[in-house]
Each structure stands twice: as C-alpha cells, then as structure tokens.
Chains A and B, each alone.
Chain A
Amino acid sequence: MPSQLVDKYYRTESLPHIWCPGCGNGIVTRAIVKAIDNLGLNQDDVCIVSGIGCSSRASGYLDFNTIHTTHGRALAFATGIKFANPKLHVIVITGDGDCVAIGGNHLIHTARRNIDITTIVFNNNIYGMTGGQYSPTTPTGDRGTTAPYGNIDANFDLCNLAKAAGATYVSRATVFGANMIIKQVENGIKNKGFSFIETITICPTYYGRKNKKGDSVDMITDLKEIAVNKVSYEKLSEEQRKGKIIVGELYKGKRPEYVEEYNRMVESF
C-alpha cells in the first residue's frame, strides 16, 4: 500500500515509475506534490504541463489535469492553458534540455510576460532520455555522449537567465534539500506571476557515469556538500566558491501579470 500522499495525488496504477534506480526525478516530483498538498489546492484546479524527457514523464504519473506535450514547448502550451482558464494553477515540469536548449526561447518570453505559471526545471546537467548528450547546463569540461573529450561550452546559470528575462520569483534547491524544494514550490505557486524554480537533481545513469561521479548516494552527498545559501556564499573566497552552487530564494520581484493586463485591455473597450 502506498503512502496517503502518493495514493491521493499519483496514478498509482502506473507505479513503479520507469526512472532508473536512484534517479532524482522521483524526489522532485514528490516535493511538488507535497507543496500542492501543503497549500490545500483542489486537484481539479491544478494543471501540470510537461515537455519531453525523462523528467517530463512526471506528468503521466500525477493525478491532476495533466498534459505531456512536445519537446521544448511546455511553456507555450501552458500559456494557452492559463489564458483559456486563468483560475487554474498551471505548473510546468521540464528538463534542462527541454527548458533551455530547444525551449530556451519559450522560457525567456514566458518570463518576460510574467504570466502566472510556476515552472520547475529538473536540472540533471544532461539529456537523460536520449542517452546522455551534453546540455546547456553541463558544466564546462564535463563529459557527455556528444562531448567525449569534455564540453567546451560555458554552461547557463538558469536562475540568472530567468531573472534577467523577467521572472518574478526565482529560486534554486537540490534533491538533497528536498524540503527546500517543497517550500519554494509553495512560494512559487503563491507568486502571482512567472515563477522559476531550478531543482538540481541527479542522473546517475548518464551524467553520473560519464563523469565518474559514483552512484546516486555519492551524487546526492556531493550536492549536500556543494550547496550553500547566498549569505554563506558571499563570505567565501574566490577559491572556495569554485564548484559551489547557491541555493535558496534568489529573487522576488513585482510586475503586472500578463493575463490580468490582457483582460484589463479587453475591458477597456
């Protein structure tokens, strides 16, 4: 018998899920569900939208209004859904490839519009589903199937990107700090505008193996060690900052929300 939380919010007939042993996707998905439960939202008032990728398969396991869309386009579908039914809490689940490689343009423009959508990126630093190609978040020097000698590209800082593009809630947490993900998703949903939550998760099968990071336990232990909050990070020397990631709520802003602005315009005629 599953836990009450899983029983209530998952399509338990499709469990166990297809994710590899120790894949972080299950941890992030549960954190999202727990946040929705903590907020007491009605399942029928929530719409989960995902793209394509291992992470994007999460929508199929969840018992809300769900839509598993096309690669990179989850935010475009989500925009349409939010416009058609502004009362829905629209939550997007997307991978780093889905969100910032093929979907990068959708991300910046959805953030620019500050439409009331909460996006949770499952950043595992690689394309998991298609066999470990490097992604825009693969750290420089790290390996992927398509970067056998090491990646020469600079990796994106997703939170900086979302903030610069206009998101009004921006945060980051790791699967080690899953409680932090829960809190951030709650606050992201509560923000009336575009919320961007980057979760640092693990793909032991491809990113882990290609980069000799050990098993899932080793990878989560690493995350525990490299994650620091903003205040602690600022106290570190340049040398100590190497390899660290900043976690926590990184930006909160206030700007007009897109659907409200649109409706205001319509009413003015």
Chain B
Amino acid sequence: MGTLQTLYVVEEWCKGCGICVTFCPKKVLEIKDDKVAIKDLKACIQCGQCELRCPDYAIYLGGQ
C-alpha cells in the first residue's frame, strides 16, 4: 500500500505529451484520452523519473 499512496497525478495540468510514459523504466504509465493514467501501480519503483521530466508538474511522488 505504501507505493499506492506515493504517486500523484494532477490531471488538469497534464498535457498528454507522453514523456513520463516513455521514460518510466517499469511501464507503470499510459496515455488515456490525452492524459496520463496509472496502468500498473504495483510495478512502480518510486524512482522519480516521471516527476523529473514532466514539463507540466502533473505527476509526482508525494509523502507517505
């Protein structure tokens, strides 16, 4: 459950560029209806690569 609570999406800010989806090493994310969507949260290793390169601050790892 720890992992479940740490990945956040700010849907209104997402512009659907797909950068986070491509560079996520664990294929956790996908684009659905032009927005990022979490496809496989269990696979997330909390590496923060998505947050690092999201140009719109629309995905991030938060506190517990």
Interface residues of A (CB under 8 A from B): 1-6, 10, 15-17, 19-27, 30, 175-176, 178-179, 215-217, 220-221
Contacts and interface: CB of A to CB of B under 8 A. Distances in A.
Given A3-B60, A16-B56, A17-B56, A22 B19 contact: yes
B55 to A, nearest CB: 3
Given A1-B10, A3-B8, A21-B15, A217 B55 contact: no
A21 B8 contact: no
12 contacts: A1-B8, A2-B60, A19-B55, A22-B55, A23-B55, A26-B55, A30-B57, A179-B52, A216-B17, A216-B55, A217-B17, A217-B18
Q: What are the 9 A-B residue pairs with the smallest beta carbon separation, nearest first?
A: A26-B55, A22-B17, A21-B15, A3-B60, A16-B13, A21-B17, A217-B22, A6-B57, A178-B52
Contacts of A24: 55
B12 interface: yes
B2 interface: no
A20 B16 CA distance: 11
A133 B62 CA distance: 40
Contacts of B28: none
Contacts of A216: 17-19, 55
B18 to A, nearest CB: 5
B6 to A, nearest CB: 11
Contact of B55 (A3, A5, A25, A179): A25
Contacts of B62: 3-4
Given A16-B15, A21-B16, A22-B17, A27 B55 contact: yes
A10 B13 CA distance: 14
Contacts of B8: 1, 3
A220 B53 CA distance: 10
A220 B54 CA distance: 12
Interface string B27-64: 00000000000000000000000011111110011110
A260 to B, nearest CB: 36
A75 B12 CA distance: 35
Nearest to A28: B55
Task: Point out which of A1, A30, A176, A215 has the most chain B C-beta atoms below 10 A from its C-beta.
Answer: A30
Given A1-B10, A21-B17, A26 B52 contact: no
